[in-house]
Amino acid sequence: MCGHSKWKEFTVLDVVFIAGILALVAFVALVAKGVERL
């Protein structure tokens, strides 16, 4: 974890990972709302 050259790479991976989790949570929330309406 002491490499300045890979700092940006890890940052991009973290952003993509967080974005994926947020998208998954949003998708699950939408499905839950759809199930409640049905």
For 1-38, the pLDDT digits (tens) are 565 666 667 788 899 999 999 999 999 999 999 998 87
**What are the sequence ranges of the domains in the chain?**
12-37
Report which of 15, 18, 13 is spatially closest to residue 1, judged by C-alpha positions. Answer: 13
| pLDDT in the model for residue 1 | 54
Residue 25 has a CB neighbour count (10 Å cut-off) of 10
DSSP states of the chain: ---GGGHHHHHHHHHHHHHHHHHHHHHHHHHHHHHHH-
